[in-house]
Amino acid sequence: MATFHKYKKKGSNKDFWEYRIYYQDPITRKTREKSKRGFLGKTEAKLAAENEERRIREGLEITDESLKIWLETWLLEYKKGTVAKNTFEIHERNVKNHIIPYFKNILLKDVKPLMYQKFINHLTKLEYSKRTVEIVHGTMFNSFEKAKTLGKIEKNPCVGVEIKGEKKEQELQFIESEHISDFLKASYEYGYIYWMFYKLLIETGMRKGEAAALQWMDVDLKEQTININKSLDFKEASKNPDEMFGNVKTYHSKRVITISQALANDLRFHQKYQNQNKTILNENYHFDLNLVLCRDDGNYMPKSSLFNSFSRILKKCGLSSLPIHSLRHTHAVLQLEAGTDMKYLQERLGHGSMQITADVYSHISKTIEKDRMNKFEEYMKNVLE
């Protein structure tokens, strides 16, 4: 319910209007009051009061919460434990190093689109790469989207921002199909457990941490599926083994994928291999971890061991230096070469949207499409002769 009052400002003969709204707090059930002054006429005051009453009914009451307090709340209440540790740390760094130093003690509701555009331009002037600015923007956009969902703000001021600069095209790194056999042969000669690790990455497209955290309970050899539901935190594993298993990168990264009959057979053999190690080592085996890809004593594969082995294997078979993550791209390229569509690939890789998959692999898919068209043209020449 709203009431309206006419008043005069000190030192002015003009009439001004104010409204007062009385409403019941949905939690405490107590009557609360909200008012605003400075309207030039009663009609203007009435329209503003009606709009405010609608906002209150819809739970959109704007509070005087600072941006700093909101971002701290967003990090702890909505991000911590719901995204991968690395992702959380990126958000935390963006808030601490970029957002708070620029906006200082501004209220959440006072961040406007033009002001936000100036912030983004400020980051560009500091000569951060376009990708870095996009990552900072991702933190702000997501935090404001959550604030909007919770009714703290009406509109997200980050929508429609323009990020200047050219995005550097990063060359997609992968092992070409004709070299995969040589790579796996060199892996086997280097060490059986490394061959098993890298073969699984190539055949599934799993991230390194997802594969390292894989437990036998996640593998169904009869149905030929793997349930990807966690990731191994290599840094935490070396310091605090009880905290070695963390969340996958994003919500969409949790997925169940199918595997080939050949890989299922390899895993059956691998199980027998591990059982022999368990019998030999007995109480010295890490039964508690129940890892699929591990050292001979059942303990996790250290990041340094994987890095060193991968570098040496690439060198041994005459391939240029690559990150282990390139095996995920290798799997994706193989899928595309086999005729897989982007939707299937998105779900298999655990990307949040098909657009992400298409953006990453657009160059490859275009190359494959061009090659297919060339083959079609050659075929059509024979048909039309």
In a domain, 78, yes or no: yes
51 with 85, same domain?
Answer: no
Token pair belonging to 10: 């000190």
Token pair belonging to 282: 């007995």
In the predicted model, what is the mean pLDDT of residues 87-114? Answer: 94
The number of distinct structural domains making up the chain is 3
51 with 91, same domain?
Answer: no
Q: What is the CATH number of the domain that holds 120?
A: 1.10.150.130
Q: Give dist(CA 366, CA 371) in Å, integer.
A: 9
226 with 324, same domain?
Answer: yes
Containing 117, the helix (H) or strand (E) segment is: helix 113-125
Q: What is the reported pTM?
A: 0.67
C-beta neighbour count of 29 within 10 angstroms? 7
In a domain, 307, yes or no: yes
Q: For residue 167, what pLDDT band results from cuts at 50, 70 and 90?
A: low
Q: Identify the burial level of 224 via C-beta atoms within 10 angstroms of its C-beta, where 0-12 means exposed, 13-18 middle and 19 or more buried.
A: middle
Containing 310, the helix (H) or strand (E) segment is: helix 303-316
Q: Are strands 15-24 and 31-39 parallel, antiparallel or unpaired?
A: antiparallel
Q: What are phi and psi of 221, to 5 degrees?
A: -70, -30
Q: What is the CATH number of the domain that holds 360?
A: 1.10.443.10
Residue 27: the pLDDT is 58
In a domain, 169, yes or no: no
Question: Are the beta carbons of 224 and 259 closer than 8 angstroms?
Answer: yes
Q: Give dist(CA 237, CA 242) in Å, integer.
A: 7
| Residue 160, helix vs strand vs coil | coil
Highest mean pLDDT among 128-137, 268-277, 360-369: 268-277
Q: What are phi and psi of 158, to 5 degrees?
A: -85, -10
At 201-250, the pLDDT tens digits run 999 999 999 999 999 999 999 999 999 999 999 988 888 888 899 888 77
Rg (CA), the chain: 29
At 170-197, the pLDDT tens digits run 678 999 999 999 999 999 999 999 999 9
Full residue range of the structural domain in which residue 224 is found: 177-370
41 with 73, same domain?
Answer: no
